[in-house]
């Protein structure tokens, strides 16, 4: 069974997923970051593929991507780094990146390589859902790669139900229609959005991302979905400490108080 499915079958609440940019802070930090996150009880990891024009990302993740590209990170190098990751790590791993570098690599080749190294899913923010259904879904399913779709407060109920009907990993609930970045709390509008999605009775589990950076936003996300996704906060901690083990410890500390 796909590890994403296993995770959500075994753990229904309080799931914590962490995003980091592959190749940041240093080119060869990828596997060490993954290992340290698993050792600190993170449930799921999103491995960011750096790209020169990341339209959904805020300045923190954009800057990490720029440095990762400058360090020489490519998809080919990333797959090479991950070749033996399943000898060390058992939790679900997801690739997150934009369509351009994936298409340059070849979508089927990308899915095949993901399967070979033990990647369980992919989040491609700029992949149109209609194109996914027509062209990409059969290829992803062939290699057991769960394609995770994003919804925002602007996504129509009809589109949300279509996504729910045609995907089976989890739904990524973006907390706002803006770019990624830390927030101190979720306002009434976001809380209303969370409650609306809760009332729809969707079959897929949901994780809330964008803006989660402290205990208050983490608790709010986990109260309104199966769990939460943190990205910018962890990237900032990696930048501030430049030590992976310390950054992971500081992340756990910041979420507990």
Q: Is 9 a catalytic residue?
A: no
Q: How far apart are CA 257 and CA 240, in angstroms?
A: 19
Q: How far apart are CA 254 and CA 71, in angstroms?
A: 29
Q: Strand pairing partners for 47?
A: 20, 95
Structure tokens at 122: 């992919």
Q: How far apart are CA 48 and CA 122, in angstroms?
A: 10
Of 29, 38, 43, 46, the active-site residue reads 46
Which sign, positive or negative, has the C-alpha torsion 39, 89, 215, 57? positive
Of 29, 38, 43, 57, the active-site residue reads 57
Q: Is 246 a catalytic residue?
A: no
Coil, helix or strand for 75? helix
Contacts of 194 (CB under 8 A, 6+ apart): 173, 186, 208, 220, 221, 224, 225
Choose among 13, 9, 60: nearest CA to 225: 13
DSSP assignment, residue 118? T
Active site residues per annotation? 46, 57
């Amino acid at each position: 069974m796909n590890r994403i499915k296993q995770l959500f079958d075994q753990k229904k609440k309080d799931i914590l997923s962490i995003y980091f940019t592959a190749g940041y802070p240093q080119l060869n930090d990828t596997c060490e970051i993954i290992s340290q996150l698993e050792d600190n009880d993170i449930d799921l990891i999103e491995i960011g593929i750096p790209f020169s024009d990341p339209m959904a990302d805020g300045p923190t993740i954009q800057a990490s991507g720029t440095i990762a590209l400058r360090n020489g990170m490519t998809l080919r190098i990333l797959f090479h780094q991950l070749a033996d990751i399943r000898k060390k790590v058992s939790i679900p791993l997801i690739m997150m990146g934009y369509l351009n570098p994936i298409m340059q690599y070849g979508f089927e080749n990308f899915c095949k390589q993901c399967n070979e190294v033990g990647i369980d899913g992919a989040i491609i923010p700029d992949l149109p859902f209609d194109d996914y259904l027509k062209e990409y879904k059969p290829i992803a399913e062939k290699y057991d790669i769960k394609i995770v779709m994003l919804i925002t407060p602007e996504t129509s109920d009809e589109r949300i139900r279509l996504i729910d009907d045609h995907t089976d990993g989890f739904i990524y609930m973006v907390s706002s229609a803006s770019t990624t970045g830390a927030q101190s709390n979720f306002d009434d509008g976001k809380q209303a959005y969370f409650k609306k999605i809760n009332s729809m009775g969707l079959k897929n589990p949901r994780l809330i991302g964008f803006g989660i950076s402290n205990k208050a936003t983490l608790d709010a996300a986990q109260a309104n979905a199966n769990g939460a996704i943190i990205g910018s906060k962890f990237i900032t901690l990696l930048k501030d400490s430049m030590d992976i083990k310390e950054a992971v410890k500081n992340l756990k500390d910041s979420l507990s108080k």
